[in-house]
Amino acid sequence: MPDAVSPSPAIRVSAEVRTALAEGRPVLALESTILSHGLPRPRNLEVGLAAERQVRDAGVVPATIGVIGGEAVVGCSAGELERLCTVDGVVKASVRDLPIARAKRLDAGTTVAATAWLAHRAGIRTMSTGGLGGVHRGASETFDESADLPVLADTPITLVSAGVKSILDIGATLERLETLNIPVVGYRTNRYPAFYVTDSGFELDYRVDSPDEVAALARARDELGQRAAVLVANPVAAEAQLDPAEHDRILAAALAAAAEAGVTGHDSTPFLLDWVQRATGGRSLAVNLEVYRGNVALGAEIARAIAG
């Protein structure tokens, strides 16, 4: 495994996580923007606590990552999780925002990029999230691309997600992942998922069928001295997905509404996700939670395999 960068005094790693890492026990990193910005209150705190219980029940130490009063925390306590889920004024922090959050002593939920970056600095090798950021529609003119992609190109972690959200340009995202030399494999599938639906319509060249195969891939990456994350695309179960035809109709309407309202840039994602949630009568939120539970479960299995 490549050596993790020693955490700086600006990063606090919980005693439980430090001990587990020192003893070679499995640890799973979890992002916090799904809690601070992705889910309504009080459901967000319930989901955050339930995810940590789920990880512990699998014999793995959870490390939810966030920023508390400007301090980056790897392994938030229950009280810190509650703070991120209930206090007003919590911001959303990617890697570029971490020094600003520190200087201004802000509370922040960390994105996939910031979570992966902080997890690697602490020595954590596996992470789960819901969906990745990617290339936005119209990026050929706006250059709107998530910071998740370049950060993951230089952060050797194994990351489980359900692909990228379907509101993004999935084809362009896969092209960028290829350009950035980030390996992407489907978990028991050769079809790339699109978060709310199991099949985005795009094929993957490679698949893995067990946590041990994922661990072997991560070891091979490390033996070659490569720096990119290994992305494991884990689709939501077919019976839990949104109906694909309904999904396509709602997404088309949401995109048209955003264009008519002049919504662009970082406002696009929350606008579109809110539109989808309202249009589905909340069923998209249920899918979101099912996606997250599935990715947390698989991430815990992979963390055990990698630690073993």
Residue 232 to residues 244, 262, 270, 289, Cα–Cα distance (Å): 22, 35, 25, 18
List all residues 6 or more positions away from 92 whose beta carbon is below 8 Å from its beta carbon: 33, 36, 37, 108, 109, 111
Is residue 112 a known part of a binding site?
Answer: yes
Catalytic hit among 80, 145, 165, 301 = 165
Residue 179 to residues 97, 153, 160, 266, Cα–Cα distance (Å): 25, 10, 20, 24
Is residue 208 a known part of a binding site?
Answer: no
104 included as an active-site residue: no
Please give the helix or strand (H or E) that residue 186 lies within, else none. Answer: strand 184-187
What 3-state DSSP class applies to 213? helix
Is residue 104 a known part of a binding site?
Answer: no
Is residue 284 a known part of a binding site?
Answer: no
Is residue 144 a known part of a binding site?
Answer: yes
Please say whether the dihedral angle defined by the alpha carbons of residues 57, 197, 277 and 243, taken in this order, is positive or negative: negative
CB 186 within 8 A of CB 174: no
Catalytic hit among 31, 52, 145, 301 = 31
Binding site, annotated residues for substrate: 92, 112, 146-148
Binding site, annotated residues: 92, 112, 144, 146-148
Binding site, annotated residues for Mn(2+): 144
The set of catalytic residues is 31, 165
